[in-house]
Amino acid sequence: MNVKISSRQSFCTYFVIVSLSLGMPNLIIRDLGQDFWLAILVAMVIETMLGFFLYKMGRAYTNQTIFQYSKKILGRTLGKVMIGIFSLYCISVAITLTQILIEFFASMVMPETPRYVFAIVLLLVSTYACSAGLEVIMRLSEIIAPFVLGSFLFIMLFNIGNMEFDNLRPMFQHSLEEVLRGAMLPSAWFGICIIMGVLMAYHNNPKDMYKIKLMGVGLGILTITISMFFAIMVLSVEVGSRQLYSVYILARFVDVGNFIQRMEAFQIVSWTAGSFLILALFHYAGVEGLKHIFSKKSRLFLGISIAVIVFVFAVFINPTTIDKAVFLKNILGVYGLIVEICGVFLLFIVYVLKQKFKVVKKRSSNEQ
């Protein structure tokens, strides 16, 4: 493969993917209040496990994406079914992200602008980036990641004076069942890092990919967790849980000597840039997967086709703000988690069984 991506680009990409979970933190706070961090811990364990499975398969099938070694592990027919499932998953992530961005801009930034305008602009640029190739998308991550991290740090730094530590009490008021139920949504969101199954094939040093992923995801989880603590301490659980974009609200609170104010514009730019990176990446991954099913179709045709599908779902089947919580929990939380855990786990189990079968077969042949 001629395309090569670096460890720094991979690290930045994983960080951006995890940290830009628009609207998700508030839904977790709404369910678990001050115990939200317990759900984050559960999600982190699941993500670590999925990353290990992908790493082991990626090392065994060097320079091959999850779409390529799915066919080798499961066989031609079942492999194509798995490729289709993973491809649809990538497209569904792109749809979900586009819907969230449209909702954010339509409700918080430019409410009088038609939704389809945001979708057209996002998908045109995403299709262009997708056709330009993975290297171009990954280079963007090195520019966007420091900007995203800086926006979080800036907002939290200048909200220290607004903190009320009493808002963090009481803790440990939810049962294990409630925590596990609340962990579904963050587990599904962190789980979209199964994009590692695509990126590892292009990494210039694949043996370091698991370590790089843990570092990038870890920094993203740390950033989002601290921002959620700030949301509770500054806004309280009651107010924070009712706000879909609490970090955006915190940006409005920034006031340094009546000179630096209204920093939400800075947050909008960082969120838009980061979300575009994720959208372009999953748009590309969707094309990569479908290319193994529709091999005679060009990448440009598949890229445009996916953009049209995303546009139709994002604009015409976009839930209202009232339904957003239910939509995210049921679609991203349930469907996403099933694909991430069951799909990757099934693939890994079959891979392990085949490896053991090869060892037993080799041993028996040597004994003969």
Give the CATH number for residue 330.
1.20.1740.10
Predicted local distance difference test score (pLDDT) of residue 327: 61
Predicted local distance difference test score (pLDDT) of residue 305: 93
Whether residue 304 lies inside any domain: the answer is yes
Whether residue 291 lies inside any domain: the answer is yes
| 33: three-class secondary structure by DSSP | helix
Predicted local distance difference test score (pLDDT) of residue 261: 62
Tell me the DSSP string of 282-349.
Answer: HHHHHHHHHHTTSTTS-HHHHHHHHHHHHHHHHHHSPPPTTTHHHHIIIIIIIIHHIIIIIIHHHHHH
Q: What is the pLDDT along the chain (368 residues), one digit of tens a residue?
A: 567 889 999 999 999 988 887 667 777 888 888 888 998 999 898 889 989 999 999 999 988 999 999 999 988 889 899 999 999 888 888 888 888 888 777 777 777 788 788 888 889 988 988 888 888 889 989 999 998 888 888 888 877 877 888 888 888 888 888 888 888 888 877 777 788 889 999 998 889 999 999 999 999 999 888 888 888 888 888 776 776 677 777 777 776 666 566 667 777 788 888 888 888 999 999 999 999 888 888 888 999 999 999 998 888 875 544 455 566 666 666 777 788 888 888 899 999 998 888 877 777 776 66
3-state percent breakdown (helix, strand, coil) of the chain, nearest 5? 80, 0, 15
- Here the tokens at position 198 are 């695509």
Domain total of the chain = 1
Whether residue 13 lies inside any domain: the answer is yes
| pLDDT single digits (tens) 254-267 | 766 665 666 677 77
Nearest residue to 231 (alpha-carbon basis) of 12, 30, 4, 18? 30
Range of the domain at 208: 7-367
Contacts of 284 (CB under 8 A, 6+ apart): 129, 130, 134, 137, 198
Tell me the DSSP string of 52-89.
Answer: HHHHHHHHHSTT--HHHHHHHHH-HHHHHHHHHHHHHH
Whether residue 198 lies inside any domain: the answer is yes
Whether the upstream peptide bond of residue 170 has omega within 30° of 0, thus cis, is yes
Predicted local distance difference test score (pLDDT) of residue 237: 82
| pLDDT single digits (tens) 167-183 | 888 888 888 888 888 88
Whether residue 1 lies inside any domain: the answer is no
Whether residue 2 lies inside any domain: the answer is no
Whether residue 295 lies inside any domain: the answer is yes
Whether residue 50 lies inside any domain: the answer is yes
